[in-house]
């Protein structure tokens, strides 16, 4: 009797298996949204000098909103010297013409000053003495600015 019940269930199980197999949707699935391509990055390298109580600035243009990084990459004659470095907007009424809106007065070699988003526009990077340069000493530096 048991084997008759099993045989009676067999067609029902086969029908269920075929029905489940027929539920396969062969239509193409939705493709995932494309990952936005980040804007190409540019690295501007600026070099200059300043003396005691002096400063220097350099202009750069950010083509579109994105991450901007400022980094002090070279310093001589004393590589351990702490200097001021800032980012700002160009202001022709100033000498040098850089009105900083973010600045660190204790930047050292190979330190990143800023890493964050900026809107497209013209900006400037300023490097300056914060009271650590001796009279008669000229400080040479290099700064990199990486941006979209």
pLDDT tens-digit profile of 125-139?
999 999 999 999 999
pTM: 0.72
DSSP code per residue over 101-131: EEEEEEE-TT-EEEEEEE-SEEEEEEEE--S
| Domains along the sequence of the chain with CATH | 42-147 (2.60.120.380)
pLDDT tens-digit profile of 96-147?
789 999 999 999 999 888 777 899 999 999 999 999 999 999 999 999 999 9
The dihedral through the CA atoms of 8, 13, 16, 17 has a sign that is: negative
């Amino acid at each position: 009797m048991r084997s008759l019940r099993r045989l009676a269930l067999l067609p029902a199980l086969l029908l269920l298996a075929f029905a489940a197999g027929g539920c396969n949707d062969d239509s193409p699935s939705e493709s995932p949204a494309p990952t936005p391509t980040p804007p190409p990055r540019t690295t501007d390298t600026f070099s200059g000098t300043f003396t005691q109580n002096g400063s220097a600035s350099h202009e750069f243009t950010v083509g579109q909103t994105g991450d901007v990084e400022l980094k002090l990459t070279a310093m001589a004659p004393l590589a351990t010297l702490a200097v001021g470095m800032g980012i700002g907007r160009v202001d022709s009424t100033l000498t040098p013409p850089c009105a900083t809106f973010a600045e660190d007065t204790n930047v050292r070699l190979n330190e990143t000053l800023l890493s964050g988003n900026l809107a497209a526009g013209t900006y400037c990077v300023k490097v300056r003495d914060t009271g650590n340069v001796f009279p008669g000493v000229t400080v040479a530096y290099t700064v990199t600015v990486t941006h979209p």
